[in-house]
Amino acid sequence: MLPFRTNVTIFIVEFLCAVLLHAFYVYSNMGPENAFYVALGLVPVLLVFLISLRLTREKLVIRCLMYTGVASFYYICTAAHTEAMLVFMLLVMGIDIALFLDQPIIIEYFGGSTVLMVILGIFRSEAITEFFPMTQYVAYLTMYAFSGVAMVFITYSINRYKVQMEEKNEIAREALEAKSNFLANMSHEIRTPMNAIYGIAEIMEGTVRNKDQQEYIMMIKRSSENLLYIINEILDFSKVDAGKLEIVDEPYNFNEMLQDVVTMMELRAREKNLQLRLDMPRNIPKLLGGDEKRVRQILINIMNNAIKFTNRGSVTLKVTWEEAVGFPIPQGTLTMKVIDTGIGIAKENMSMLFTAFGQVNTKKNRNVEGTGLGLAICKNLVDEMGGVISVESELDKGSVFTVAIPQKIVDDAPDDYEIKRLDNIIPGGGYSADFVAPKARVLVVDDNKVNLQVAHELLKLFGIEAKLAGSGQEAIDLVSRHLISYDIIFMDHMMPYIDGAEATQRIRSMDSEYARKVPIIALTANAIKGVDKQLIAAGMNDYISKPIKVAQLGDILKKWLPSSRVFPAGTSMEDIERAEKNTPWDELPMEELLERFEGIDTDTGIRNCAGNVKGYIELLKTYAVSNLGNLLDEYFENEDMENYAVTAHSIKGASQSVGALDVADMAYSLERAAKRGDITYIWDQHEELIDHYTEILLMLRQIFYPEHRQNEEKAVAENNARAAMQNTQPVPKPVYQRTAPGPIYTPYLMGKGTANENMDENS
């Protein structure tokens, strides 16, 4: 079953051949003039073919070609008086029409062309009998009709088979999808409890000092890693089986990748008292182009196998690089040889090595764990990358596995390999965070309480006290209320009712710049390829797989937390708070600046400024130096209730505007008390209002005008010192005066007029 355009091309080629053969016959028997008229029959079909290239409706194209072809063949045969040959020419075209497998059109073609030839036999019998008797023509016509019937049945059978195959393919696709879903669920269900086991083991690893207990914890971690390794092998094999194995070419530093692999392998080699040797060249380019993850996977698989099947002696990794010549893109061959002194492989078992579940079942390796999929996956990965994998082995003497894969050269500068020795790594020593972020606001969302607790404890290693949410809906509510601006949200992928992807989409759809930009990191126990892309497409910024490893968590926190939240390990809270206070307000991100305004509802203030954040900041700066407290004190002392009410009203309005709602409420209650002459209530509440109001103003001044606030405090200290020397009363509190440049008024310096007059002057 060929593509439609291919069938159209075949139709035109065969039509052309039929016309040229007929023209050659006419030229030989009837002369060049008649042959010329025959050749003209090509023109209509070729024109229709050129027009059909722009048409998208397939049936329209077929019918245009079909009717134009029949008309051209009829013209050719009548022009050359070769009507008897029409039956053969139409049969050729009938075969071409049958290629399209359109049963109604085939019936239409053979039915119409048979009627045409019957009419031709009746009215052009003299021209037909010039070639053969009429009985022979009738026989040909009958054969033509039977051919048409056969074509119809053949087409019907092919189409039916095609439908059956499509149904079977659909069943196979559904089965494959079911298998993928099963593997995804299996991965999630296993990784979810493994997250708790591994995470708690990592937390305990850093706290336990007893050697026996450290040993037990290491056994728990190692068993967890082995189980995850087996799960990953099964998942990788399922991707190979489904044809979904992807190779992604990206620049990477081979030496850095190799250091990580060797560090991991050296720990395993030490456990078996094996020597791990390296033979590295100095000509490996600094940056190669290839799939770093897959190269790492191949190397880990082969080295891990060598260590598993070697009980004494050594495992040697020998790497060579050979640059290729004559290619438009610089490239070369990376060869990795893993040589061990292990149990070796018998010749009769060599063929089983690179097959699925092909473990060599000998008495010598019955104690070795594994699925038997590792080398089969390596073989597929190497094949996908256009490389070669081979093995040489001798029983009881060891094996040599060789992998050669082509890699592009991104940066050809040589990069010397320097191994990271493990002399200072003590098993069970725990993870040591190299930074802390105690001021970071982190939300963790997971429906599993154990996983929430594990994440909470792991984040404590970085000094972070996380907020925990047990469902996607709870996370949505927390973000929508915006009581806290979280620096990062860790969102579990698979949760009941509202999963992580849907919760993220709902958060991103909120009418808030914060909700659209807050980093959301997926916590996923689903290791199926492509899930990461789905999560990113859902609006998440990154993902971290379960079980959560502390080092991986640290990398994610460093990547997505604001730099102002991250401090070197060992930094005290006092140092952090001091650094925050010394940071100029205009150098802070807007969200962090707004968080400094304690006692002020900034959302209300921003709404009062029609959403203009910069305008709101200017309003706060004006509010900070427009103190009405001294004026209110004066009216309070003079018991001037009329002006006291007006001033309290002004404090209430200004405080409401900036979002200092507690101050506004107290000022409003005092305003009402002054209007009704309730001096007792004012005596009870006045000092509390002044204290709250002053606290807000001092806090704002400390943020916006720290140098002026320092000058004020210095002046107060000097006044107190002079007062002490002169045995006078010290100044009880700073005098509120102009502390910033610009047209800022100081109410206590105004004239002796009423509050209304002073407010008019101010406005």
Q: Calculate mean pLDDT across residues 120-130.
A: 85
The band of 204, judged by pLDDT with boundaries at 50, 70 and 90, is confident
Q: Judging by beta carbons within 10 Å of its beta carbon (0-12, 13-18, 19+), is residue 435 exposed, middle or buried?
A: middle
Is 467 within 8 Å of 487 (Cβ atoms)? no
Q: What is the pLDDT of residues 234-256, one digit of tens each?
A: 666 665 555 556 777 889 888 88
Q: Report the alpha-carbon distance of residue 425 to residue 541 in Å, rounded.
A: 33
Q: Which pLDDT score, from 0 to 100, does residue 27 have? A: 82
pLDDT at 148 > cutoff 80: yes
State the virtual CA torsion across 567, 572, 574, 580 in degrees, nearest 10: 0
Q: Judging by beta carbons within 10 Å of its beta carbon (0-12, 13-18, 19+), is residue 499 exposed, middle or buried?
A: middle
Q: Report the alpha-carbon distance of residue 61 to residue 49 in Å, rounded.
A: 8
pLDDT at 323 > cutoff 50: yes
Edge to edge, the sheet with strand 442-445 lists 467-469, 442-445, 488-492, 520-524, 542-545
Output 573 or 634, whichever has higher pLDDT.
634
Q: Calculate mean pLDDT across residues 102-113.
A: 88
Q: Which pLDDT score, from 0 to 100, does residue 90 have? A: 87
Q: How many CB atoms lie within 10 A of CB 133?
A: 10
Output 436 or 570, whichever has higher pLDDT.
436
Strand 398-414, strand 331-340: pairing: antiparallel
pLDDT at 750 > cutoff 80: no
pLDDT at 722 > cutoff 70: no
Output 417 or 698, whichever has higher pLDDT.
698
Q: Calculate mean pLDDT across residues 281-302.
A: 87
Q: Which pLDDT score, from 0 to 100, does residue 237 have? A: 60
Q: Which pLDDT score, from 0 to 100, does residue 490 have? A: 94
Q: Calculate mean pLDDT across residues 186-203.
A: 74
Query: Which candidate, 275, 183, 293, places its Cα nearest to that of 234?
Result: 183
What HEC string does 381-430 produce? HHHHCCCEEEEEEECCCEEEEEEEEEEEEEEEEECCCCCCCCCCCCCCCC
Domains of the chain: 4-132 (no CATH), 245-414 (3.30.565.10), 435-568 (3.40.50.2300), 602-762 (no CATH)
Output 117 or 757, whichever has higher pLDDT.
117
> Where is average pLDDT lowest: 468-477, 616-625, 670-679, 699-708?
699-708
Output 557 or 348, whichever has higher pLDDT.
557
- Greatest mean pLDDT among 138-152, 251-265, 415-429 lies in 138-152
- The proportion of the chain whose per-residue pLDDT surpasses 90, expressed as a percent, equals 13
Q: Calculate mean pLDDT across residues 271-286.
A: 86
Is 472 within 8 Å of 507 (Cβ atoms)? no
The band of 527, judged by pLDDT with boundaries at 50, 70 and 90, is low
Output 593 or 384, whichever has higher pLDDT.
384
Q: Calculate mean pLDDT across residues 121-149.
A: 87
Q: Which pLDDT score, from 0 to 100, does residue 710 have? A: 53
**Residue whose structure tokens are 């119809």:** 152
Specify the pTM: 0.44
pLDDT at 530 > cutoff 80: no
Mean pLDDT of the chain: 78
Question: Which residue type, as a one-letter code, is found at position 670?
Answer: L
Q: Distance from CA of residue 519 to its chain's centroid?
A: 12
